[in-house]
Amino acid sequence: SKPIVAIVGRPNVGKSTLFNQIGKKRISIVDDMPGVTRDRIYLDAVWLGKPFVMIDTGGIEFSGDDKILSSMRDQAKLAMDEADVIVFVVDGRTGLTTSDEEVGKMLRTTKKPVILAVNKIDSPKQDNDIYEFYNLGLGDPIPIAAANALNLGDLLDAVVAAF
């Protein structure tokens, strides 16, 4: 069966934007609960002739601020259980946050490949903003701007190379 790629990261880093840029068609939407948007969405995608399935684990986002970290832990666990490759999206405008560090710590415990994408690098002027993310200990951060589909080719090259 097709490799599964999970996209994890804090709310508002641009996971859904990235997901929609990469995915071609929505496969299914699972579940709905009060206080939780549990729309775990699966999308079919293909890059360089290699098909894969993407999961937007960011559908699991709780409404209260105090719940963000626990929902991120759930996302990361789901990704580590179900995915073949994990794309960890962080926000190059906000910079590295405590929640990023917490999730990064979890992701460092998996043997699965983790690809670190720094989103919202909208122009080369922001290129230096990616360096602090080396502190996550997850390898080279890949700058992207999901909203304008900038550098998604490099990100997807790294994803399919990890299958």
Q: Which residues are annotated as a binding site for GTP?
A: 9-16, 56-60, 119-122
Contact 96, 132 (CB under 8 A): yes
The answer to whether residues 106 and 76 touch, using CB atoms and an 8 Å cutoff, is: yes
Q: How many residues bind ligand GDP (CB under 6 A)?
A: 15
Closest CA to 4 of 86, 59, 78: 86
Of ligand GDP, Mg ion, none, which one sits near residue 13, judging by CB under 5 to 8 A according to partner kind?
ligand GDP
Give φ, ψ of 21 to 5 degrees.
-70, -35
> What character string, x for contact with ligand GDP (CB under 6 A) and - otherwise, covers 95-134?
------------------------xx-x------------
**Shortest distance (Å) from residue 16 CB to Mg ion:** 3
**Interaction between residue 58 and Mg ion (CB under 5 A):** yes
Q: Tokens at residue 48, please? A: 């360089």
Q: Which does 119 bind (CB under 5 to 8 A by kind): ligand GDP, Mg ion, none?
A: ligand GDP
Which of positions 39-68 make contact with ligand GDP (CB under 6 A)? 58
Please check whether residue 122 is in contact with residue 150, taking contact to mean a CB–CB distance below 8 angstroms: yes
Residue 79 interacts with ligand GDP (CB under 6 A)?
no
| C-alpha–C-alpha distance, residues 88 and 103, integer Å | 9
Q: Which range, of 56-64, 75-83, 115-123, 153-161, touches Mg ion by CB under 5 A? A: 56-64
Residues facing 41 on adjacent strands? 29, 56
Residue numbers at the binding site for ligand GDP (CB under 6 A): 9, 11-17, 58, 119-120, 122, 145-147
